[in-house]
Amino acid sequence: MKSLEDLKKMREAALKKVEMREGGKDYRVVVGMATCGIAAGARPVLNKLVEETAEKDYNCVVTQTGCIGMCVYEPIVEVYGKDGSHTTYVHVDADKATKILEEHIGKGHIVEEYTVDAVKALEG
Amino acid sequence: MMEDLAMHILEILMNSIGAKAGRILLKIRESVKDNIIEITVTDNGSGMSEEMVKTVADPFTTTRKTRKIGMGVAFMKGLTEQCGGTFGITSRPGEGTEVKASIVRDHIDAPPTGDLGQMMMYAIQADETIDFEMIYETDTDQFVFKSSEIREMLEGVSLLEPEILLWIKEYINEGIMRAKEGMR
């Protein structure tokens, strides 16, 4: 049974992590969760991102936004780096989400084949 | 597409978030006695004019002006009509909006409730600075969730920490389950 008291422990654990990182997280991972995103399957993607980030302690914060304006490419996941970089991944599913975390957040390598540019090029 | 009630409600919550609300109250009353599920979302966001309230539920009259409101209201209204319920919006520019919907609880077309904890997790993710309050009321019991309480307990740690988000989801679902225990 969960109680509000749990939060005290979680707070301390979170603070420890923040100290280790010295000032904020390196990446912000944003999922499009408007009607179009949800309809295309953004929900399992967002869940996977939150769960994996909690479990593997990736250096990112997972948030969500409304319609990104490319509904046909949903589910869309955008990755913003602390250095100002911005990558847009499209047609993401739970497996692709796992790989994006592993490669991009974990190792700093963009998963080129899932990016909007690669998918657009492929579709001609 | 909108396979459960939680996703319908999320659409309404997202409208409130889009309307720059600082406080959003969601009340769900599930009554076996009255055979009804009532949903009320009240916010202190930018509100709408009378004219806009009239058109907001019609997906085909939505224009740029009403851009903040998407298809969510139309879907919710359609659901209530399909399930023998009621739907209404009251709003005042600059003061806020209240969306009230109800469905017949045992109606054959009534959707499953869905994951309300996850729904609140999504809403908090969209804007953690908003004070979300959720009340789940049954004939015998009540569960209340306040994001401001959580924020106070965390003293500066973000609600967006994934462990915290997952905790909130489960905390809410456990609370709702307990409130529902006396129902059947």
Residues A25-54, mean pLDDT to the nearest whole number: 89
Residues of A in contact with B161 (CB under 8 A): 10, 14, 61
Q: Distance of CA A8 to CAs A41, B129, B149, Å?
A: 34, 20, 12
- The least confident of A113-117, B49-53, B121-125, B169-173 is B49-53
- Cβ–Cβ of A33/B121 closer than 8 Å? no
Residues A38-59, mean pLDDT to the nearest whole number: 91
Residues A89-101, mean pLDDT to the nearest whole number: 97
A14 CA to chain B: closest CA distance, Å? 7
Q: When comparing pLDDT for B58 and A21, which is higher?
A: B58
For residue B145, give the chain A residue with the closest CA: A4
For residue B73, give the chain A residue with the closest CA: A35
In chain A, what percentage of residues exceed pLDDT 90? 56
Under the banding of pLDDT at 50, 70 and 90, the label for residue B66 is very low
In chain B, what percentage of residues exceed pLDDT 90? 72
For A66, the token pair is: 């409304």
What would the pLDDT profile of B131-179 be if each residue is shown by its tens digit?
999 999 999 999 999 999 999 999 888 898 888 999 999 999 999 999 9
- Cβ–Cβ of B126/A63 closer than 8 Å? yes
CA distance B86 to B84: 7
Q: How many helices (H) and strands (E) does chain A have?
A: 5, 4
For residue A12, is it left (φ>0), alpha (ψ between -120 and 50) or beta? alpha
The listed range with the strongest mean pLDDT (A57-66, A110-119, B57-66) is A110-119
Q: What is the ipTM of this complex?
A: 0.70
Under the banding of pLDDT at 50, 70 and 90, the label for residue B82 is very high
* Residue of B118, B106, B100 lying closest to B7 (CA atoms): B118
**Burial category of B138 from C-beta neighbours within 10 Å (exposed 0-12, middle 13-18, buried 19 and up):** buried
Residues of B in contact with A6 (CB under 8 A): 167
**Using CA of residue B181, residue B1, residue B36, residue B90, what is the dihedral sign?**
positive
What would the pLDDT profile of A15-25 be if each residue is shown by its tens digit?
877 665 555 78
Residues of A in contact with B7 (CB under 8 A): 38
Q: What's chain B's Rg over C-alpha atoms? A: 16
- Cβ–Cβ of A62/B162 closer than 8 Å? yes
CA distance B79 to B71: 12
CA distance B97 to A64: 23
